[in-house]
Amino acid sequence: MTRLVVRLFLIHILGCIAVALGMYYPGVDLALSLLYMGIIIREVISSQIDLPRRRTLAVTIWQSPALILSFASIATIRGWGQANYAFFMLEFFYTPFLPLLSLLARISVANMPLYYYVLLGLPFLIILFYGLLLNLITKDLTKPIS
Amino acid sequence: MKKNIGDTVCIWVFPLLSLLLAAGISLANPQAFEKGSVARIYVQNAFQGKTGYGCEGYYGNQIDFSGLEPGDLILGSYPECSYGHYSHAGLYLGKGEVLEGFVDMGVNIQNIEHYRQYAEVCLLRVTADEKTKNRAVQYARNHQGCIFYPLAFKPGDRIFNCTKIMWQAYKIQGLDLAPDPNLWISPDCFRQNANVELIREESI
């Protein structure tokens, strides 16, 4: 599991750099974003770990910085004012997704743009996505051959 | 064997692409890291411990906002800003509203009074006809809700920072308010541009 977590973090950080640079060439950033998602999905699916639960745990560990930043972005703690910085760092963490998020409809809810809410919810969505995906794959593999 | 090759490719694909992209950007912008460039100023300030937009707070600037017209630019400055003298920029839309960009609110419209929080405020008038300014204002309005990303490069119209949206709004109309060969646009670029004139500025 450690190997999967380390590889996810490594690919993620390298992906952040590539996508950030790719934003210089409109269109290239979108392609890199999709490539990033494909590589991460491949990484999780092809991992040697047998139990889908452990793979989902690895994904959760990989998303833990974003989980913390997501909570910190909405938590109102007096005297610190961390919310703005936390969201700033959360956005940087999710650089690989930003080109795709930029295609979202430009609507606002309670004076905040849609992408704000999506970024806050992204760690949960990613964990849920991989949890469901791995469950689905496991079910398919254990289906009896008729 | 196949999986090992796949694992290696997955690790190395982004570093190789990053190198290619960095080379392409450097070749297209050979002067982007020269003395006085935004990138160089940021790196130099970072070595001195200055990062970000400076010492945020409420400084209570008492600048007079009367006489502003749609299309005017408003710059705000916090001390110790890492990318120049001014930290933030907004585009005046009229009726006390300013269009600007923030990391959590994206490109959005705010009340001009919040500029009183800055230690220094500067009001600039773009030397262009009313039609150009109105078109620039409309372009900016149409991009409300767009993503704010601090490192938004000049090219592209999906991802903005606070300066790029107003630079782009005027560039589309044929007026380049930041013609310097910089990868990013700092608020100082507007202050130094020959196509703007100073209305007034005030500091605490």
| More confident call, B47 vs A117 | A117
pLDDT digits (tens, 9 = 90+) for A15-64: 999 999 999 999 999 999 999 999 999 999 888 777 778 888 999 999 99
Task: Compute the Cα dihedral for B34, B38, B43, B46 and give only its sign.
Answer: positive
**Complex ipTM:** 0.89
Q: Which of A81, A115, A79 minimizes the C-alpha distance to A97?
A: A115
Put simply, whether B5 touches A (Cβ < 8 Å) is no
* Predicted pLDDT of residue A122: 96
Question: Which of B103, B143, B156 lies nearest to residue A87, judging by beta carbons?
Answer: B103
* Predicted pLDDT of residue B89: 94
User: Do B150 and A102 make contact, defined as CB atoms within 8 angstroms?
Assistant: no
CA–CA separation, A6 vs A14, rounded Å? 12
3-class secondary structure per residue, A94-120: CHHHHHHHCCCCCCEECCEEHHHHHHH
Question: Which of A21, A23, A116 lies nearest to residue B159, judging by beta carbons?
Answer: A23
User: Do A21 and B143 make contact, defined as CB atoms within 8 angstroms?
Assistant: no
Whole-Å CA distances, A121 to A1, A20, A66, A92, B180:
25, 21, 9, 15, 39
CA–CA separation, B48 vs B40, rounded Å? 13
Q: Is B180 exposed, middle or buried (0-12, 13-18, 19+ CB in 10 A)?
A: middle
pLDDT digits (tens, 9 = 90+) for B17-65: 999 999 999 999 888 777 777 777 777 777 777 667 667 778 888 999 9
Q: Is B92 exposed, middle or buried (0-12, 13-18, 19+ CB in 10 A)?
A: buried
Q: Which residue do the tokens 């007026």 mark?
A: B175
Q: Which residue do the tokens 């990318």 mark?
A: B83
- B45 residue type, one letter: N
Q: What angle do CA B108, B112, B114 make, to 5 degrees?
A: 90
For A135, the token pair is 């469950």
CA–CA separation, B87 vs B79, rounded Å? 9
